[in-house]
Every structure is written in C-alpha cells, then in structure tokens.
A and B are shown apart, each in its own frame.
Chain A
Amino acid sequence: MSGEDNIIVIRDVSKWFGKVQALRKVNLNIRRGSVAVIIGPSGSGKSTLLRCINHMEVEDEGEILIDGQRLPRSEKWINAVRADIGMVFQHFYLYPHLTVLENITLAQRIVRKRSKEEAERIAREQLSRVGIAEKADSFPAQLSGGQQQRVAIARALAMNPKIMLFDEPTSALDPEMIKEVLDVMLDLAKAGITMVVVTHEMGFARAAADEVVFMDDGQIIEQGEPAMVFDHPRHERTRLFLSQILHK
C-alpha cells in the first residue's frame, strides 16, 4: 500500500448515544509503534473514540481496522481482538477480591491459556517493569492510587498486547502520584509499544507523543506533532482550549 504501517485505521466512524452524537465521521490512522495522545474538552468524544478501538463501544457507522482486520461486531469474535489490546482505566478497576499477582495472572490463564507457572513468571516480570515487584501478594486496597494504576498497567502488559489504550490514566490520582504513573508510560513509549492515550497531561504529550490529536464536538479538529499543535495551533478552537488548560 502506501508504505505506511497503520496498526489502527478509523474510517468515517460515527456514534450516537440516544439523540446525542458523540462522534461525527472521525478518520484517524495510527502507525505501529507510535504514541498518539488525544486531547480535548470533556464531552468532546475522545474517550468514546478510544473505547471504540476495542469495541467497548461499538460504532454506529464507519469501520475500524486493527492490523488490517475489521473489528468484528459479534460478541463471539471480539474477545480475541480485545486480548491483543490492553486497556488502562481512569479508576484502575483492579479486581479487589484477588491479590496483585492474581489480578495479573487471571486473564493470562483463562484467555491466553498459559500455565500457572508461566503466567506468574510473566506477571512478576511486568511488576518489576512498573517498579512494584514487592507488592505481588498485596490486595489492591492495600496500595496507593499510583501503585494501583501501575498494577493495572502491568495487568494489561502481561497479555502481550499489540496496542495499549489509556483512558485518562492519571485523572483520578493525587498530584504526588501522577509522576510515577507517567514515568512508567514514558518507558513504554520509549520501548516502542503502540499507545493511544487520552489525557490532560500536556507535559507527557510533549515528551512522549508522536502525534497529538485535538478533538472537539465529536470531531478531530487538528492533529500533528506535539510542537506543531501546542506551539502553532492552526485552529482557533485548539488555541482556546490550550489557553484554558495551560492557564495562560
């Protein structure tokens, strides 16, 4: 094809919630190994777009291709695709009745069909990667918010995903814990994992993003390299949004 290796292709995607249109014919390509950061005011559709990528929300119109394969609409086939796409949520959603180690091994075992030993080995590797190997036997409630979010990242990574989705991963954290999570995400970005991140952390976007996507009112208003979008926004709406969040 054009030589571009797009792992995610979003074509003319529209989505309604009742009478409210959340996405209006959105088109977006994301290259393999790149980091895309989606920014925009609340209610602009950025989380909805992210959630369409693994069909936590199903688009009403258009199509989404992952690795050249169209996302299936049937419940039956979507699970295999989801296993290849890690997702990190604003409120972590760790499984509170399981230990940290069990949180990370469960899906490996029942979805990836790995043995207990293999799943635990991988879980411990990922826990070291996010810097909390010593918490393997704790329960989520015994961890700080930042530690919980790092466990959630390790849980997603343990599935060996092709893509990682982050839905406002630091928005629910106390200020002093934001950095430890962003540091982990920065490491992942450097390691060449394809990431799509919805966030308000402009510092992270500048440091890690290959591309910044600004959304408003269910549409992509502009996109480009961070320096371009942040320093020379072409659209008035982008300028306005940036001035509001950067307290200029």
Chain B
Amino acid sequence: MAYEDASLAQGNVITVNRESLRLRLERFPWWFLVILLVTAVTALIITTKSTYTEAFGFIRAGLSVTIMTTISAYFIALIVGIVTGLGRISRNVVFKNLATFYVEVVRGIPMLVLIFFIALVLVPAVTSSLNALGERLSAVGLGGLGAFFSSVTNKGVPMQLRAVIALSVTYGAFSAEIFRAGIQSIHKGQMEAARSQGMTYGQAMRYIILPQAIRNVLPALGNDFISMLKDSSLVSVLAVRDITQVAKLYAGQTFRYPEAYLTLAVLYLSMTMLLSLGVKALEKRFQSS
C-alpha cells in the first residue's frame, strides 16, 4: 500500500509539472518574442546590408528631433493638462467653461488638421497681432517693448517650435481628461477632511488630492507618452526633420522604400516596446502598494 501511495504521489507530481509547463507555455508572451525576433533580424540586416546601413545612418539623424519634440511637448502638455483638468472640475464658471471649451474643441478635430491649423494659422495670427501691439506701444512711447513685439516675425518661429506647440495643445487636452478622472476618483471625504482642518481648496488639492490622483493616473500618463512618441511622426507634415521626415526624404531620393520604411517602423516599435515595458513596471509597483 505504502509503495502504491508513493507511486501515485509521484504520478501526481508529474502531472502537476506537465500542467504547469502547459500553463507556462500558454502564458508565455509569444507576441513579444516575435517582436524581438523581427527587431533582431532587422538589426542584423541593417548591420550587414549596405543599403540598409545607409538608410539607417540617414534616418538616425532625425532621432534627436523626434525625442526632443516628444519630451518637450509631453511636459508642456502635462502642465497644460493639470491646469485644464483643475479647470474642468472648478466651481469658477469662467475657468470651467474655458477648460471645457478647449478640451471639446481639441477632441473634435483630427490631430493632423490641428497641427496644420496651429502651425500655419494660429501661430501667424499671434505673431501678427503681437506686431500690431508693438506698433501701438511704439506709438504711445513705449519704444523698447514695442520694438521687441514688432521684432517677433512669423518666420522667426521655427517649424519645430510650432510642432511642439501643436502637439502640446493637442495632448494637453488628453492629459486634462486623465487628470480630471484621476482627481474625481479620489473620495470626496479626503477633500472634506482637509478642508475641516482649515486648509484652503488649493492646499487640499496640492497636498491631499493631487498626490493621490497623480499616483492613480501614472500608468495612463505613461501610455500618453508612448502615444505622443508615435504621434510626433505627424510633425513631418511641417517638414520638421524627425525620423519620419528624413525617412520620407531618403525614400524619395533613392526609391528604396523597404529600406526607409522598415527601418523607420522597427525604430518606432523598439522605442515604444521599451517604453511600454517601463509603464508595465510602473503599474506593478503602484498596484502592490
């Protein structure tokens, strides 16, 4: 009997092992392995095939523009987003309506159209009204300030700056909604407790509500950064020399389309994969605590 029991137990152990192996095979992120493979193969091709090496060398030149545009637009969008998010839940009628107006307008217009509009209509409009203001100021004797305003020419605003402005305006509205949802997810008792201690609305927001809200929305903000990186490719329509634009130029000059666009696609993919791993780690860290 004892022998039988032991063998039975052993059999069980084996089935358990088989089970867990099957489970592990099922859970294994195969998709990720494929992406790694594709990236590795492309990297191999880039290092061995001369046309690909050339294409990569060309496209790499746009990397700093892509990264700088993404990072600067993202951080401006965060600031715009917090302010607008607070506006969306504000009891101040003017503030609330301004914030809602901005968010709804941006959400209702395709990003590509917004980029054209902001870069080619809004920025020139602002510079020309600044110029008009400058002339007025000069006329009333404020020559120094007037000359400064007059000196801001439309051409003086580089396309990359316009691209950053356009992306910040667009993503500011997106992150505003993230912040608003984050703030509203905090129980209203937190605000009550803080206010009952004599804190002002602003102090309660700053010390009690926002720290908790931002913690809750960190993964969403991380995903926003990944989206921003991808959408930064849209600024190529303004002839800003990001990786998409230089790839386009390369393809146009050489007619080597696979070299240009495979390299470009894999470049974006490896950056976004890396970032999404970071976001997942962030999610895990804040779930456990």
A and B together in one complex: yes
Task: Give the chain A neighbours of B208 by CB distance below 8 A.
Answer: 95
B67 at interface, CB cutoff 8 A: no
A93 at interface, CB cutoff 8 A: yes
B211 at interface, CB cutoff 8 A: yes
Query: B111-130 interface mask toward A, CB cutoff 8 Å, 1 = contact, 0 = none?
Result: 00000000000000000000
User: What is the CB-to-nearest-CB distance from A159 to chain B, in angstroms, rounded to a whole number?
Assistant: 6
User: What is the CB-to-nearest-CB distance from A58 to chain B, in angstroms, rounded to a whole number?
Assistant: 12
- The answer on a CB contact under 8 Å between B197 and A111 is yes
- The answer on a CB contact under 8 Å between A111 and B201 is no
- The answer on a CB contact under 8 Å between B212 and A97 is yes
B48 at interface, CB cutoff 8 A: no
A20 at interface, CB cutoff 8 A: no
CA distance A89 to B194 in the complex (A): 12
- The answer on a CB contact under 8 Å between B196 and A82 is yes
- The answer on a CB contact under 8 Å between B215 and A93 is no
Contacts A97-B212, A97-B215, A110-B203: A82 and B189 contacting too (C-beta < 8 A)? no
CA distance A111 to B190 in the complex (A): 16
Task: Give the chain A neighbours of B193 by CB distance below 8 A.
Answer: 87, 89, 93-95
- Give residues 79-113 of A contacting B (CB, 8 Å): 79-87, 89, 91, 93-97, 106-107, 110-111
CA distance A22 to B203 in the complex (A): 30
- The answer on a CB contact under 8 Å between B192 and A82 is no
A54 at interface, CB cutoff 8 A: yes
- The answer on a CB contact under 8 Å between B198 and A111 is yes
User: Chain A: interface residue count, which band?
Assistant: 20 to 34
Contacts A97-B211, A106-B207: A80 and B198 contacting too (C-beta < 8 A)? yes
Pick from A97, A107, A155: contact of B198, CB under 8 Å: A107
User: What is the CB-to-nearest-CB distance from A127 to chain B, in angstroms, rounded to a whole number?
Assistant: 17
- The answer on a CB contact under 8 Å between A79 and B199 is yes
User: What is the CB-to-nearest-CB distance from A53 to chain B, in angstroms, rounded to a whole number?
Assistant: 11
Query: B204-238 interface mask toward A, CB cutoff 8 Å, 1 = contact, 0 = none?
Result: 00011001100100000000000000000000000
Count of A-B contacts with CB under 8 A?
59
CA distance A107 to B192 in the complex (A): 13
The count of residues in chain B whose C-beta lies closer than 8 Å to any C-beta of chain A is 19
A75 at interface, CB cutoff 8 A: yes
Query: In the complex, what residue of chain A is closest to B190 when comparing beta carbons?
Result: A93
Query: In the complex, what residue of chain A is closest to B214 when comparing beta carbons?
Result: A97
CA distance A86 to B203 in the complex (A): 18
Query: In the complex, what residue of chain B is closest to A139 when comparing beta carbons?
Result: B289
A56 at interface, CB cutoff 8 A: yes
- The answer on a CB contact under 8 Å between B189 and A91 is yes
B195 at interface, CB cutoff 8 A: yes
Pick from A79, A91, A106: contact of B200, CB under 8 Å: A79
- The answer on a CB contact under 8 Å between A75 and B201 is yes
CA distance A156 to B196 in the complex (A): 9
Query: A113-126 interface mask toward B, CB cutoff 8 Å, 1 = contact, 0 = none?
Result: 00000000000000
CA distance A87 to B189 in the complex (A): 12
- The answer on a CB contact under 8 Å between B190 and A56 is no
Given known contacts A79-B198, A83-B197, A94-B193, what 15 new A-B pairs fall within 8 Å (CB)?
A56-B192, A75-B200, A82-B196, A82-B197, A85-B196, A87-B193, A87-B196, A89-B189, A91-B189, A93-B187, A95-B193, A95-B212, A111-B198, A111-B203, A155-B197
Please provide the 9 A-B residue pairs with the shortest distance between their CB atoms, ordered closest to farther.
Answer: A83-B198, A93-B193, A107-B197, A87-B196, A93-B189, A111-B198, A82-B198, A79-B198, A97-B212
Q: Please, could you name 19 A-B residue pairs with CB atoms under 8 Å apart, sorted by A?
A: A56-B192, A56-B195, A79-B200, A80-B198, A81-B198, A82-B198, A84-B198, A85-B196, A87-B193, A91-B189, A93-B187, A93-B190, A93-B193, A95-B208, A97-B212, A110-B199, A111-B203, A159-B197, A159-B198
